[in-house]
Amino acid sequence: MPDGPIIEVRNLKKVYRYGSVDVPALRGVSLDVAAGEFMAVLGPSGSGKSTLFHIVGGLLAPSSGTVRVAGQDLGAVSDAQRTEMRKRTVGFVFQRFNLLSTLNAEENIRIAQHIGGTQGDEEHFEHVTRILGIRHRLRHKPHALSGGEQQRVAIARAIINQPSILLADEPTGNLDSENSLAVLDTLKTLNDSLGQTVLMITHNPDAARYCASSTVRMKDGRIDGRDEQAT
């Protein structure tokens, strides 16, 4: 792993074209996420959080500015290298879990191992599924799991290839308060005990306060404030 921040964003801008109208979503965002940090990006709907998430994850191209992830300049790499990065360097968790409904929990995680080329690492599989508290649910298909369990399977899938950064977009957005707390506890544990670096997008200040070590607040496509906090 190269020295320096895991994520380095500089003067990032994104303008969407909507019909004949330009919609500025990011108006010059700069931030660093250090190894081992748990950063929350907080802000109201429309402030540009998802756009930032998608660009940092290599899912969307910026209009201008630079993003380095684990030392790689996303603007300078080939499509093949970007695809490789999405398989191994970054783990994604979304609000809607996105589990494959015809596969059971274990198969959903195994398929990520297969894609990442880490199949056969049984020790890590056991460790991850134990930490996430899902070992007794591995044979169940998503429809037989609670929302919180589905999200914990999705988190297992996201970290099974030991990514440098876990990107979570509103990971509790589809959950009731009890399941939300369980998922936030899980993310906090991964950060505390495995040193997993996390960047979490949320509109919920309580979720940010509960588990993040630092928070940036977004407003109208800009960073409007930053806090370091004791959780």
Establish if 23 lies at the interface with ligand ADP (CB under 6 A): yes
Establish if 177 lies at the interface with ligand ADP (CB under 6 A): no
Using CA atoms of 95, 96, 100, 102 in order, give the dihedral in degrees to the nearest 10: 140
How many other C-beta atoms lie within 10 A of the C-beta of residue 151? 30
CB of 102 vs ligand ADP, minimal distance in Å? 30
Looking up tokens 């806090």 gives 227
Q: Which is nearer to ligand ADP, 175 or 190 (CB)?
A: 175
Establish if 101 lies at the interface with ligand ADP (CB under 6 A): no
CB of 94 vs ligand ADP, minimal distance in Å? 12
CA 218 from centroid of its chain's CA atoms:
17
CA 182, CA 28: separation in Å to the nearest integer?
Answer: 35
CB of 16 vs ligand ADP, minimal distance in Å? 3
Cross-strand partners of 64: 13
CB of 225 vs ligand ADP, minimal distance in Å? 15
CB of 168 vs ligand ADP, minimal distance in Å? 13
Nearest 5°: the CA angle 102, 106, 108 is 50
Q: Closest by alpha carbon to 152, among 184, 178, 127, 123?
A: 184
Which range of residues in 18-26, 89-97, 124-132, 158-166 is near ligand ADP by CB under 6 A? 18-26
Q: Which of 25, 156, 182, 212 is the binder for ligand ADP (CB under 6 A)? A: 25
Establish if 154 lies at the interface with ligand ADP (CB under 6 A): no
In the chain, what's the furthest Cα-to-Cα distance? 54
Residues touching ligand ADP: how many (CB under 6 A)?
Answer: 12
* Phi, then psi, of 35 in degrees rounded to 5: -60, 135
By CB under 6 A, what part of segment 30-69 binds ligand ADP? 43, 45-51
Which range of residues in 16-24, 89-97, 123-131, 141-149 is near ligand ADP by CB under 6 A? 16-24
Cα separation of the two ends of the chain:
27
Q: Which is nearer to ligand ADP, 17 or 143 (CB)?
A: 17
Contact assessment for residue 63 and residue 29, using Cβ atoms and an 8 Å cutoff: no
Establish if 197 lies at the interface with ligand ADP (CB under 6 A): no
Token pair recorded at residue 177? 């308060």
Q: Which is nearer to ligand ADP, 23 or 144 (CB)?
A: 23
Looking up tokens 């990514």 gives 163
Establish if 16 lies at the interface with ligand ADP (CB under 6 A): yes
Residues forming the site for ligand ADP (CB under 6 A) = 16, 18, 23, 25, 43, 45-51
